[in-house]
Structure 1
Amino acid sequence: MKNVNVRKLALAGILVAVGIVCSPLSIPIGASKCAPVQHFINILGGVFLGPGYAVGMAFVTSLLRNLMGTGTLLAFPGSMCGAFLCGMLYKYGKHLPFAYAGELFGTSVIGGLLSYPIATLIMGSESAVFGFVLPFFVSSCGGTVIAAVLVTAMKKMKVFDVYLGNLDAEPQKIKH
């Protein structure tokens, strides 16, 4: 059991590192810097590690991106809400489309609405209440499409299931 937790923590650290390294791959839309790789990582974390790890990874990635100057304060509500909803919907629904929908809705609608007070009160940006929903949705779509292709393939091949020690999972055998 302890070995599984170490593996989850190691995988979470690697995914955070990937999020940091890929943070320059962002699209500036208004006051936000939309990062599709972050949404892909949120889905990986939510599906393979669970909602707690996914939210923790989103927080650490957002914090480090802000400290390095490659992110904005709006990264916190967007990425964390998307990661949480993605992880929860997958945990209880056990279907990948639920995880994808959770990331899209959590980031764009919930994260977009929670970004409004941060943008107006803390960042001093003039914006409409729903001003972040569309940009966050566009960013989430990119990461979700990437995740839909890669996570579906990884899930079928049981890549992380074997690594994380799920006893039910066996690697797919190649037929000769």
Structure 2
Amino acid sequence: MNSRQIRKMVLTAMFACLSFVLCTFVYFPAMAPFQHFVNVIAAVFIGPWYGMLAAFLCGVLRMMSGRTIMSVLGAIFGALLAGLFYRRTHRFWSLILGELIGTGIISAILCYYPMKYIYGMDLQSPFYYIPFFAPASFVGACLGVAVLLMLRRSGVMKRMLSMLGEEEEPRQ
């Protein structure tokens, strides 16, 4: 295992822990905007697969602290799509779009089935969670992009990406 992989694994664990702590202290019913905040930052620094792993680990930690399966399902698809979209375009708006589609739509629809059939909730439509997930993912992704813009403006982002072996600087 090379040092680049080790750094990405350490950052994955750090992003998972940061997300868990932020989601624990700032909680809204059926919303976790700071999960999405961390997802977009992780997408830039560690990529889609490690970002998805960080979201999964945070979701498992949140489930262990009493939350439902929505903790896992509500985060992993947004992290994956934000990372994949960003990898393709290297633009910050793609992070918001990926997080919004992945979490706000795909995860919201997928959460319906376990919540209805495993947890026995009386939900009327697979689209039930979209009004909760979409605003939270949009707000969290926008906050994450704001932090990334500050990091880029200060020059910290370029140094961090070079330490991780990443070449390309994000475009506007």
TM-score norm. by structure 2 comes to 0.88
Matched residue of 2:147: which SS? helix
Asked if 1 retains the 8 angstrom alpha-carbon contact of 2:95 and 2:141, the reply is: no
From 106, 119, 122, the equivalent of 1:123 is 119
Structure 2: gaps of 5 or more residues: none
**Deviations 1:117-152 (Å, cap 9, x if unpaired)?**
011011111122211011001211221121121012
Greater RCO, CA 8 A, separation 6+: 2
Check if 1:141 corresponds to 2:138.
yes
Q: Which structure has greater helix proportion?
A: 2
Q: Secondary structure at the match of 2:23?
A: coil
Contact 2:99 2:138 in 1 (8 A): no
Is the partner of 1:66 in helix, strand or coil? helix
List alignment gaps of at least 5 residues for structure 1.
170-176
Inter-partner Cα distance in structure 2 for 1:55 and 1:122: 24
Structure 1 length-normalised TM: 0.86
Shift of 1:168: 6.5
Compared CA separation, residues 6 and 124, structure 1 to 2 (3 A): same
Moved more, 103-112 or 72-81: 72-81
Q: Which runs of 4+ in 1 moved over 3 A?
A: 165-169
Equivalences, count: 164
State the distance in 2 between where 1:17 and 1:115 align: 23
Aligned to 2:129: 132
**SS of residue in 2 equivalent to 1:23:** helix
2:99 matched residue in structure 1: 103
Residues 16, 57 of structure 2: 8 Å contact kept: yes
Structure 1 contact 154–160 (Cα < 8 Å) conserved: no
Give the alignment partner of residue 88 of structure 2, picking from 83, 87, 92.
Answer: 92
RMSD across aligned positions (CA): 1.7
Alpha-carbon distance in structure 1 between the residues aligned to 2:32 and 2:97 = 17
Q: What pairs with 1:156-167 in structure 2 (closer than 5 Å)?
A: 156=153, 157=155, 158-166=158-166
- Shift in CA distance, 83/168, structure 1 to aligned 2, threshold 3 Å: closer
Residue in structure 1 matched with residue 47 of structure 2 by the alignment: 50
Identical-pair percentage: 28
